[in-house]
Structure 1
Amino acid sequence: MPHLVILYTPNLDKPASQGGVDMSGLCRALADAMLAVRDEQDKQVFPTGGTRVLAYPAAHSAISDGGAAGIAAGLGGDYAFVYMNVRMAKGRSAAVHQRVGDALNAVVKERFAEQLARRPIGITVQVDEGIEVFDAKNSSLHPLFNRT
């Protein structure tokens, strides 16, 4: 862990000039931001080999009023939505939770500045801490980063 899962409306899978966003670039920027977060002892919060960002377009969606208010406001009715949820293991401080949220939100503000200014779009960034009832990990990634 952590795992950041992004669900988004498929109308964002377009070039930025058409109101979309580079989802692969967004995923990389979010992963880099997560890896840069430090705790109160200036240690990297998330293990490099365990940090994952996955984005999925929604096969089906309905947003708000379907576009009527956007059309009436002259912004168009092609609403978009992005939901980002990062789930991390239990035990980190409230300050770390805030740092993670702030880091992710800074990426969102930068990457979606044009869309937020030009089209009706909603973006949620959520940080959750999990209490695992079962937690098995099988990974050949971690050893790549745990070498001394």
Structure 2
Amino acid sequence: MPHLVILYTPNIEAETDMTALCRTLADTMLAQRDGDTGQPVFPTGGTRVLAYPAAHHAVADGQADYAFVYLNLRMASGRAEAVKKKAGDELLAAVRTHFADLFARRHIGITLQIDESPGQVYDGKHSNLHPLFNKG
């Protein structure tokens, strides 16, 4: 963890580069530093950004070709409120920049939500990615 999942209406796929958005958001997450310690907020090997077009959707009253993008960042608990707010603000700024041209041309709703998992029932992991970045 952290995992940022993007769900979007497929009517914007031809108008934007979702892979580029994923990379931008991953880089934004990896650039986050704790203001008190200067340490990375998110582990490099655990940072994932995934985007999925919704197979089916209905947006607003359906009277136009409305679009929607929902971003949900899930992270483990333990980060300071200021750290979470800064991360959210910077992620939303990156999303707004990415969609600025599209936003000017069509009606689109964008929501970014951050969820924290304070008491997980189960959190199984199997990965060989973390060792790539935990050298030193």
Normalised by the size of structure 2, how large is the TM-score? Answer: 0.96
**Across the two proteins, how many residue pairs are aligned to each other?**
134
Q: CA deviation at 1:53?
A: 0.2
Tell me how large the CA RMSD over aligned residues is: 0.8
Residues 41-50 or 126-135, more deviating: 126-135
1:64 to 46, 57, 60: 60
- Which residue does the alignment assign to 2:3? 3
Kindly state the Cα deviation for residue 117 of structure 1 after the two structures are TM-superposed.
1.4
Deviation at 1:21, TM superposition (A): 1.1
Which residue pairs with 2:84 in the alignment?
97
Q: 1:123 aligned to 2:103?
A: no
SS, match of residue 123 in structure 1: strand
Query: Which of structures 1 and 2 has the bigger CA Rg?
Result: 1
Equivalent residue, structure 1, for 2:42: 46
Identity within the alignment, %: 63
Give the TM-score of the pair, scaled to structure 1.
0.88
Unpaired runs of 5+ residues, structure 2, are none
CA distance in 2, matches of 1:104, 1:4: 10
Question: How far apart are residue 118 of structure 1 and its match?
Answer: 1.5
Question: How far, CA to CA, are the matches of 1:126 and 1:96 in structure 2?
Answer: 15
Q: Separation in 1 of the partners of 2:7 and 2:92?
A: 16
Q: Per-residue CA shift, 1:70-89, capped at 9, x if unaligned?
A: xxxxxxx2110000000000
- Name the stretch that deviates more: 53-62 or 36-45: 36-45
- Residue 22 of structure 1 deviates from its aligned partner by 0.2
Per-residue deviation at 1:61?
0.2
The alpha carbon displacement at 1:24 in A equals: 0.3
Give 1:100 shift.
1.0
The secondary structure found in structure 1 opposite 2:69 is: strand
Name the residue aligned to 1:71. none
